[in-house]
A and B are shown apart, each in its own frame.
Chain A
Amino acid sequence: MAAEQELTPTSYIGHHLTFFEQPVGQGSFWTLNLDSLVTAVVLGVLGIGLLWWVVRGATSGVPNKRQAFVELACEFVDEQAKGIFQGDRRFIAPAALTVFVWVLLMNAMDFLPVDVTAWFYEHVLHLEHWRQVPTADVNTTFALSLSVWLLMIWFSIAVKGFGGWVHELFCSPFGANPLLWPANFAFNLVEYISKPLSHSLRLFGNMYAGEIIFLLLWMMAGAGIAGTIFAVPLGLAWAIFHILIVVLQAYIFMMLTIVYIAMAHESH
């Protein structure tokens, strides 16, 4: 933290919630959160690259521990996909595995204590601000969920044809009578808008709120002896609970990806 700025609770939290931004145009829409982008890309390359590297050296004989671990993960995701979607799983299951591994790694960045890594970012990398949890950035979670949304629409059109998809937009769930077309369209519009919104904001809310609660707890720990005595067990309890939340939210994101893409294959 900068030495010339007086350390107040608001400034501590504000500092840890400021993005490392890179404008590429006018206005806040064209400002990239470079910290989220770089961390997300690095974690994606590491995670998926690890999977690829293990699969490259895979044998059909007795597997070593790395291969067994990757096989465990693949089977787990395939079981979930098989339970939800009874069609050709050759796209859905790998997509779900990618989403699961990537979101899990991005969420796991929340385990690193922010004060220690802030020292690293400031003195080793000379960066004033750096948010290390990409999924605590609403841009990242929206990017993921909008990609799933586009996949949903793509599969709807691929399975039912463009005409079939438009017919379904205007004629389900109430009926094909032209008087019902506005009602059907409104229903479907709400469904199509609420799915990516809830998909992304659930993940974002969990990670963002988790980070803020961590910051508040550490601030309490810095407020004298009584603060430290209370903050340590609370912080421990919250950290343990957050381990569950990190894995659970990645699992939920993956399951909803499978469910949305599977629902796109259905026709009414």
Chain B
Amino acid sequence: MEKIQFIALVQAYTGVGIGLMVGLGALGACVGVGVMCSRFLEGAARQPEMIPALQAKVFLLLGLIDASFIIGLGIGMFFAFANPLLGALR
């Protein structure tokens, strides 16, 4: 019975940790992308002839801004399905 309680404890805290990782990462990524895209729209409205050049840069920056969030998501998924913290319990 004891062991199940320990496992449940570790899994519960891991769950909270995953939620924080994904949630806070998504917050940062969305705010960043929103700011960048608002600047793009501003620039596109001022100079429509620059739209193709700026659009290429927008997609590149989108991927770069998303990077930390996706890395956090990957780590979160790793903890969700192959929790290494449980290994210490075995």
Would you call B81 and A13 a contact (CB within 8 A)?
yes
- A251 partner residues in chain B, CB cutoff 8 A: 59-60, 63
Would you call A209 and B77 a contact (CB within 8 A)?
yes
- A14 partner residues in chain B, CB cutoff 8 A: 81-82
The count of residues in chain A whose C-beta lies closer than 8 Å to any C-beta of chain B is 18
Dominant SS among interface residues on chain B: helix
Would you call A17 and B81 a contact (CB within 8 A)?
yes
Would you call A205 and B81 a contact (CB within 8 A)?
no
Would you call A202 and B81 a contact (CB within 8 A)?
no
Asked whether any CB of chain A lies closer than 8 Å to the CB of B51, the reply is no
- B64 partner residues in chain A, CB cutoff 8 A: 202, 252
Asked whether any CB of chain B lies closer than 8 Å to the CB of A144, the reply is no
Asked whether any CB of chain B lies closer than 8 Å to the CB of A201, the reply is yes
Interface residues of A in 171-220 (CB under 8 A from B): 198, 201-202, 204-206, 208-209, 212
Would you call A205 and B60 a contact (CB within 8 A)?
no
Interface 9-residue window, one of B2-10, B40-48, B66-74: B66-74
Would you call B74 and A208 a contact (CB within 8 A)?
yes
Would you call B71 and A205 a contact (CB within 8 A)?
yes
Partner of B63, one of A17, A201, A248: A248
With A205-B73, A208-B74, A209-B74 known to touch, is A252 a contact of B81 (CB < 8 Å)?
no
Partner of A201, one of B59, B71, B82: B71
Q: How far is the CB of A247 from chain B (nearest CB, A)?
A: 9
Residue pairs across A and B with Cβ atoms less than 8 A apart, 14 shown, are: A17-B81, A198-B71, A201-B74, A202-B64, A202-B66, A202-B67, A205-B70, A205-B73, A208-B74, A209-B74, A209-B77, A249-B63, A252-B60, A252-B63
| Chain B residues at the A interface, C-beta cutoff of 8 Å | 59-60, 62-64, 66-67, 70-75, 77, 81-82
